[in-house]
């Protein structure tokens, strides 16, 4: 028997929740999920769950607690490793996160706190071992480093030279179905930086098998709340439209500038051919003073059109359709969202992205990558010949 498993309880039916380091309430699972705030709770767990005496009941785990649960590869890995020792369900996975989850929520349970050795960022980036380093990192940190999404990834404590003793970095790799997805994400996030979208700091390892990115929910030592738009809209991640998403950004931030940021990110996702820009890949951040939430920086951006096992549709609808939009549809999306001069934004991003693609050396690492990205950009940015199109009552120029 693995000695590390002896310390684990076989089942977890209760998790005490802290928000911003302060006790907030208790999540239980008798037949359904029930969360009740403490009488002295200082902070709500979610913008969608204000403080109240009545408990919040859900058939599935409440979205704000479920938003960081692992999916796909990592969930299967954890379940297989622990199946002999524990009942691994959503409650158990939430408890395993303890204080490492993205955002402001800490999960306290019968699990004892665990300590982990730190890793050097240079060791990850310069790795030259016979096997990829991700397997070793996953083996060491899978009981703490859980993150949402289906891509193989883990949260690694990194030793730093700053006054802060450690920080966490997210390390991702790929499986055979999506070969060199790490390079793909590095290129797309580099393009986001070139288009002034402000992504977090990130790196690509020398062996191309690890993509590393900073977590962005901590600022100057302060823990920020993180809520994605599956939580804020109450929808599954592939349900809805970008029109609805932009309205939700406006509702929660109350700032036209943040809606404009979300619009720019959406246009960029369309131009770069990211068909997986779903509701979990848009989020807001806010601090414990509950000042106005701001849109989180871009993350999890890849060019999906190059993979034959992924269809060539968008994650959400634009103008009622999931096909990748042309320039006319992108401009209309902006007008519908109240964006000033959206055509100028589309053209600006297209020009910046085109200049980036012309100079990016990593495009050569994946066969057909440059051609696929260029085709996507051409589809979304191509200006139609000016003319007139007719409806029943009037003529008006094309944008």
pLDDT in tens, 330-371: 999 999 999 999 999 999 999 999 999 999 999 999 999 999
Domain extent listing, the chain: 3-108, 121-214, 220-385
Question: What mean pLDDT value characterizes the chain?
Answer: 90
Lowest model confidence (mean pLDDT) among 58-72, 186-200, 331-345: 58-72
pLDDT in tens, 212-248: 999 999 877 788 999 999 999 999 999 999 999 999 9
Nearest to 267 by CA among 212, 211, 348, 321: 348
Three-state secondary structure of the chain: CCHHHCCCCCCCCEEEEEECCEEEEEEECCCCEEEEECCCCCCCCECCECCCCCCEEECCCCHHHHCCCCCHHHHHHHHHHHCCCCCCCHHHHHHHHCCCCCCCEEEECCCCCCCCCCECHHHHHCCCCCCCHHHHHHHHHCCCCCCCCCCCEEEEEEECCCCCCEEEEEEECCCHHHCCHHHHHHHHHHHHHHCCCCCCCEEECCCCCCEEEECCCEECCEECEEEEHHHHHCCCCCCCEHHHHHHHHHHHHCCHHHHHHHHHHHHHHHHHCCCCCCHHHCEEEECCCCCCCEECCCCCCCCHHHCCCCCCEEEEEECCEEECCCHHHHHHHHHHCCCCCHHHHHHHHHHHHHHHHHHCHHHHHCCCHHHHHHHHHHHHHCCCCCCEEECCCCEEECC
> What's the pLDDT at 190?
98
pLDDT confidence of 38, banded at 50, 70, 90?
very high
Task: Count other C-beta atoms under 10 Å from residue 162's C-beta.
Answer: 7
> What's the pLDDT at 290?
72
> What's the pLDDT at 390?
42
pLDDT confidence of 116, banded at 50, 70, 90?
confident
pLDDT in tens, 9-18: 899 999 999 9
> What's the pLDDT at 164?
43
Q: What is the fold of 220-385? A: 1.10.1070
Lowest model confidence (mean pLDDT) among 80-89, 148-157, 348-357: 148-157
Tokens 């039916």 appear where? 13
pLDDT confidence of 384, banded at 50, 70, 90?
low
Stretch 156-162: mean pLDDT, rounded? 73
> What's the pLDDT at 168?
87
Give the residues across from 46 on adjacent strands: 49
CB burial string 31-62: b at 16+ within 10 A, e below: eebbbbbeeebebbbbbbbeeeeeebeeeebb
pLDDT confidence of 6, banded at 50, 70, 90?
low
> What's the pLDDT at 3?
43
**Phi/psi at 71 (5° precision):** -125, 175
């Amino acid at each position: 028997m693995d000695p590390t498993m002896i310390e684990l309880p076989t089942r977890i039916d209760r998790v005490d929740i802290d928000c911003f380091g302060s006790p907030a309430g208790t999540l239980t699972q008798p037949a359904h999920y029930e969360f009740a705030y403490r009488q002295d709770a200082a902070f709500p767990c979610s913008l969608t769950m204000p403080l109240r005496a009545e408990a919040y009941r859900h058939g599935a785990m409440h979205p704000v607690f479920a938003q960081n649960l692992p999916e796909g590869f990592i969930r299967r890995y954890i379940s297989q490793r622990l199946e002999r020792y524990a009942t691994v369900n959503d409650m158990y996975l939430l408890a395993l996160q303890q204080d490492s989850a993205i955002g402001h929520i800490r999960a306290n349970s019968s699990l004892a706190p665990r300590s982990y050795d730190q890793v050097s960022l240079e060791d990850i980036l310069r790795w030259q071992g016979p096997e990829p380093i991700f397997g070793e990192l996953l083996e060491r940190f899978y009981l703490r480093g859980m993150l949402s999404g289906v891509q193989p990834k883990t949260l690694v404590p990194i030793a730093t030279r700053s006054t802060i003793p450690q920080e966490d970095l997210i390390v991702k790799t790929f499986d055979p179905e999506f070969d060199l997805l790490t390079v793909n994400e590095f290129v797309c996030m580099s393009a986001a930086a070139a288009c002034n979208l402000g992504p977090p700091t990130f790196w690509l390892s020398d062996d191309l098998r690890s993509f590393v990115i900073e977590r962005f929910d901590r600022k100057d030592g302060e823990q920020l709340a993180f809520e994605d738009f599956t939580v804020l809209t109450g929808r599954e991640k592939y349900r809805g439209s970008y029109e609805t998403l932009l309205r939700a950004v406006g509702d929660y931030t109350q700032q036209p500038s943040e809606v404009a940021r979300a619009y720019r990110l959406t246009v960029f996702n369309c131009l770069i051919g990211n068909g997986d820009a779903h509701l979990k890949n848009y989020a807001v951040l806010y601090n414990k003073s509950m000042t106005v939430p701001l849109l989180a920086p871009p993350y999890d951006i890849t060019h999906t059109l190059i993979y034959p096992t992924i269809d060539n549709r968008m994650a959400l609808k634009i103008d009622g359709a999931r096909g990748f939009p042309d320039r006319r549809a992108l401009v209309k999306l902006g007008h519908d969202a109240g964006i000033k001069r959206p055509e100028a934004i589309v053209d600006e991003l297209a020009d910046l992205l085109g200049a980036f693609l012309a100079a990016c050396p990593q495009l050569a690492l994946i066969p057909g990558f440059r051609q696929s990205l260029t085709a996507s950009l051409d589809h979304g940015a191509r200006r139609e010949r000016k003319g007139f199109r007719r409806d029943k009552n009037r003529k008006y120029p094309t944008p």
